[in-house]
Structure 1
Amino acid sequence: MQTLLASQQHTDLVTHTLADDGIQWVFIPPGSPHWGGKWESAVRSVQLHLRRVVGTSMLIFEQMRTLLAQVSAVVNSRPLCYTPDTEVNYLSPAHFLIGRPFTTIPEADLGHITVGRLGYWQSIQSMYQGFWKQWHQEYLTTLQQRPKWTTSIPNISIGDVALFKESNSPPD
């Protein structure tokens, strides 16, 4: 495999195929995630919460793949901008990938069951629910601006947009 990847013929084939399809690679310098902007911020957020949720657990390939697929669905279903009708009409990264937001069937809450009593599927679902809980709490706080001491803002009135957060809301 190493010899195939290192061969000039393979490199030329990949380069020409990508050029024919109009694909252009853009690399950022290693150790410079600030050059990546928003996408590096999303990657850091996912890494941070995955480390918190997975912790020292050893996952087999299938478990990690399932968890990452569910996590990517959560992250790619987030609204990209504010819209008053977030139930039906909002734009998310998933719209650019598949034309609609990702949706899942809600599972029973497994947070109250100890990890040792969970089976393979339940342990992955528990990690997914933990990721959702932590990530959506952090993401919602980034949507809320807090200009308390810098600008004066009038009190809430009829027609203003308000953000309500429930701790027991499902991931979708």
Structure 2
Amino acid sequence: MRNTQRCSASVEGKVYIVEINETSVYNPREGEVERMVHNHMVSHTLTEGGIKDMFADMPHLVCVVEDVLFAFFSETGLMWFDTKLKMWRRLLDRDGKRLTELSTFTLKALAEHDGKLVVLYLFGIFEMGFNERVQCELVSLHRAGDRICGTVDWSGATGTVPSSFHFLHCVAVSS
């Protein structure tokens, strides 16, 4: 069974297509496609028979900040793509710990704003019926040697929406 979950974004003139087992890079100038398999992100086998978990590490969201591709995966969380090593690396804080423990069910959008990563997620609340609170994290990104580290500069509620609300696309607008 092939899973068709995929996300795409453009970085430095190349198109990155992130799928469940691989990341492909298409260079339109050269007309070339390079596929990189990331087996380390696929869950271990369920049985001795070698059947892979059908709920393997799926990409859900992608975003580009300062020419770096970020993605949220269902199992490994928030990752960034290291173009030199051609592999996904976890976005950690300066102490080497995960930035957030968000799940696929709550994280709804990634965006870039003023060189920072914006993480938007929803939490159900009961106020005059069932609504959802839009929570936001504003993350500064720092290079630390060959790594990229994140620091949550601000976190808080930005509004309330009906439970039927869905993000279609997230775009940062400046005045």
- Fold match by TM threshold 0.5: no
TM-score by length of 2: 0.25
Structure having the higher Rg = 1
Q: Could you say which structure has the greater relative contact order, defined with CA pairs below 8 angstroms and 6 or more residues apart?
A: 1
Higher percent of residues as helix: 1
TM-score, with length taken from structure 1: 0.25
Relative to total residues, which structure has the larger strand share, 1 or 2?
2
